[in-house]
Amino acid sequence: MQQQRTIDFEATGNTSKAEAPQRESVQVATETSLPPPPTSTPPLVRPDRQIVYENRDPEFWPSADSLHNLDTITVDRIHEDIEGPSHRLVIQREDIVEARCGPNNLQRGTVVDINHARQEVLLDFGDESPQWLAVGLLYPVADSAVPCVADSSGNAASQDPHLSSKKLLAFLAASPGTEFTPSELRRHFSVTEFDSGKPLANPVHTALKELRDKGRIHVTETRFGEPRFAVLALPDLAAELTLGHCPQSLSGAEIRYLLRKHGQQIAEFALRWGFTQKHVREVFDRGLADPHVVYDWLEAILTP
């Protein structure tokens, strides 16, 4: 007579038949009674820009005033989150950051301006309408997150189509009010080949034209010699504005950009200062050529 047998492949030689059925229930009970595995602090996304203090209580953190300047602003993250432990995030002009523009809406942009009075930064999302956003809505982006490709010479180059203009703008913005000629800029960026019959074949001239057309830089035309390009050294508030800050003229593109940069709407601006909207748009077309009128408009634009 044959007898069916059940083979327990996990049983050891010292395990009795009575103990075997209880082994699984004992193992489950043992594992579920263990403490949870230790949690680890999320890594910092940008260790070079995220300052972690020994005392995690923000009340004992040093003042951020020493870190603030025209190109730098900070925001304190007082709770641990996906970007690391509680820390102070340093944001600088030309940084690429992610902005929370709404529920489940993160957009990546470049910091092009900073306003300490309003605790806001101006973000360029790659279109014609940069936006002012509160610094609390910004999050760091790891350097490795910026996609790169190789250019024609085999060197690493960003895929951003506005790289040359942004790089040039960053150079000019580092010395606001300092004027540079195109030949000086060509030498600085080591692109000295220039054909006067085809000026836009040179990337410096292409970038200058793009920035000029967007109103991002000021151009001083001279009777003799080359024009001079600069980023205007304007204060943040109208109370600090003097005639020394003001150029002799402003192009319509510059006025349009300054209005947008300082959050001014055409209808509200015109009503507040006694203009018609038609007049404002005419100024967009022709610009301003009188230094005293330039001062008046800049004072109005810089008035919150």
Domains: count for the chain: 2
Residue 285 and residue 166 share a domain: yes
Cα–Cα distance measured from residue 249 to residue 236, given in angstroms and rounded to the nearest whole number: 19
Which phi and psi (to 5°) does residue 30 adopt? -65, -45
157 within domain boundaries: yes
Residue that wins the pLDDT comparison between 298 and 221: 298
Tell me the Cα Rg of the chain.
Answer: 30
- Which residues are registered as beta bridge partners of 73? 91
- Render pLDDT for 241-252 as a digit per residue (tens, 0 to 9): 999 999 999 999
26 within domain boundaries: no
Fill in the DSSP letter of residue 242: -
CATH (domain of 127): 2.30.30.140
**Tokens representing 41?**
């602090």
Pairing of strands 50-51, 87-92: antiparallel
Residue 177 and residue 274 share a domain: yes
pTM confidence score = 0.49
Q: Which of 93, 126, 144 is the last residue of a domain?
A: 144
Residue 182 and residue 110 share a domain: no
**Tokens representing 69?**
């300047």
195 within domain boundaries: yes
pLDDT in the model for residue 56: 81
Q: Which of 110, 144, 178 is the last residue of a domain?
A: 144
Residue 80 and residue 138 share a domain: yes
Query: Of 144, 143, 185, 190, which Cα lies nearest the Cα of 168?
Result: 185
30 within domain boundaries: no
For the chain, the first-to-last Cα distance in angstroms comes to: 101
167 within domain boundaries: yes
- Render pLDDT for 25-65 as a digit per residue (tens, 0 to 9): 555 555 555 555 544 555 677 888 888 888 888 888 898 88
Residue 250 and residue 157 share a domain: yes
Percent of the chain with pLDDT over 90: 33
Residue that wins the pLDDT comparison between 188 and 290: 290
Exposed (0-12), middle (13-18) or buried (19+): which is 161, by Cβ within 10 Å? exposed
- Render pLDDT for 139-172 as a digit per residue (tens, 0 to 9): 888 753 333 333 333 333 333 333 368 889 888 9
Tell me: pLDDT of 102 over 90.
no
pLDDT in the model for residue 30: 55
- Render pLDDT for 68-83 as a digit per residue (tens, 0 to 9): 888 889 988 887 765 6
Residue pair 20/7 in contact (Cβ under 8 Å)? The answer is: no
Range of the domain at 139: 50-144
34 within domain boundaries: no
Q: State the alpha helices, DSSP H only, in the chain.
A: 23-32, 163-173, 182-188, 203-213, 252-261, 266-273, 277-286, 291-302
Residue 290 and residue 213 share a domain: yes
20 within domain boundaries: no
Q: Which of 144, 161, 195 is the last residue of a domain?
A: 144
Residue 136 and residue 186 share a domain: no
Stretch 183-188: mean pLDDT = 86
- Residue 179's alpha-carbon distances to 65, 134, 166, 230, in angstroms, are 30, 31, 17, 5
Mean pLDDT, rounded, of the chain: 79
pLDDT in the model for residue 259: 92
Residue 282 and residue 168 share a domain: yes
Residue 174 and residue 283 share a domain: yes
Residue 137 and residue 157 share a domain: no
Residue 165 and residue 92 share a domain: no
Cα–Cα distance measured from residue 121 to residue 112, given in angstroms and rounded to the nearest whole number: 8
Cβ–Cβ contacts within 10 Å for residue 188, how many?
Answer: 12
Stretch 268-295: mean pLDDT = 93
Q: 95: pLDDT confidence band, cut at 50, 70 and 90?
A: confident
Residue 179 and residue 277 share a domain: yes
5 within domain boundaries: no
pLDDT in the model for residue 155: 39
**Tokens representing 93?**
């002009």
